[in-house]
Amino acid sequence: MKLGLLVPQQGPSGLWAASAICCAELAVLELNERGGVLGQPVELVSIDAGASGASAASAAEEAIGERGVEAIVGMFPSYARTPVARAIGRRVPFVYTPQFEGFERDKGIVTTGETARELLGPAIEWFKGHGAPKRFFLCGNDYIWPRASLAVARAMIGHSSVGSVVGERYLPLGDQSYHELLACIAASRADVVLPFFLGSEAIAFHRAFSDAGLTSRALRFTPALDETILYGIGERATDNLYASSAYFGAVASRNNGAFLERYHRLHGESPPPANAFGQSCYEGVHCLGSLIEAANTLNAGAVSRELGRTRQHRTARGEDRDPIAGARQPIHFARVDGYDFTVLPTS
């Protein structure tokens, strides 16, 4: 069976390609050790989604029509999800793996990533227990994931009485002119900044935030932060920085420990860092394999119908050794300490 891994290898989210491919390779190796899928060995086909929705849709079309891909696992920004789904047209199963804003209604898309509401919840609870009501400033790239996610944040902040929103700004992808944005943040006297910038754009924002001398004046919280971005930001720019995710390499659990041991056994001592976005492809491949086996067919509709009632054979997340495929996983809230994440209690 040919399994397509559709990830950007360029653009702001291209920095996750190496870890995504390494994590998917491990999952495919494990599937094949179990006998493959439907009695066939799985062949991983890496596909460059490019830097736009149009390029991702074109790559998906070519993968199915010319390269014979029979299922697709995708890890790319939300702006490409609908174009890719339309290009696939339910001809093959499609699993979408990264965190996203939520609200997906297309039954042809199996989503396995965390939603904005899930990721924001632990942070809101933590803020409620730590000091007086906060002044929040919301900012990010100007497309569906930041705008929809921060709309959820605005509503949750209002309903929780944890504070108030004192500013909101968006910048186009590729615009790293942060001077005006940072001046607005400083003028707002915000206690907490929620930056939702994508990949390399996040690295540039956090560096600029530090250079503007704001790290001691406002806490930053974002789910758009993982080990790859953290290493790019640099240790000097990480004061008062917090994140939430269903996966951190630092999570101490049986599932994650076993995953990391196998990951390093396959890829050596210094592979691309296991991170939430890349590791989501490991989850996606195993979720897809389990769904196909349960459906006993590659029919996209039949595969989707197995979601929520089929056991996933491997995971690095949560505590359940064999979770329900597509089930929600625990969300962790963490403080950045230099180049490391320290997972914190939220209750």
> What confidence score (pLDDT) does residue 131 get?
83
Between CA 38 and CA 147 the distance in angstroms is: 41
Dihedral sign, Cα of residue 222, residue 169, residue 231, residue 233: negative
Q: What angle do CA 48, 49, 52 make, to 5 degrees?
A: 140
User: pLDDT 10s per residue in the chain (347 long)?
Assistant: 999 999 999 999 999 999 999 999 999 999 999 999 999 999 999 999 999 999 999 999 999 999 999 999 999 999 999 999 999 999 999 999 999 999 999 999 999 999 999 999 999 999 988 888 899 999 999 999 999 999 999 999 999 989 999 999 999 999 999 999 999 999 999 999 999 999 999 999 999 999 999 999 999 999 999 999 999 999 999 999 999 999 999 999 999 999 999 999 999 999 999 999 999 999 999 999 999 999 999 999 999 999 989 999 999 999 988 899 988 899 999 999 999 999 998 66
Cβ contacts of 53 within 8 Å, gap of 6 or more? 79, 80, 82, 83, 84
Three-state secondary structure of 65-132: HCCCCCEEEECCCHHHHHHHHHHHCCCCCEEECCCECCCCCCCCCEECCCEHHHHHHHHHHHHHCCCC
Cβ count within 10 A of residue 343: 16
Q: What angle do CA 9, 80, 1 make, to 5 degrees?
A: 65
Distances (CA, A) of 249 to 199, 237, 239, 274: 18, 20, 20, 6
What are the structural domains of the chain? 2-114+251-305 (3.40.50.2300), 116-245 (3.40.50.2300)
Angle between helices 200-211 and 179-188 (to 10 degrees): 60
The reported pTM is: 0.96
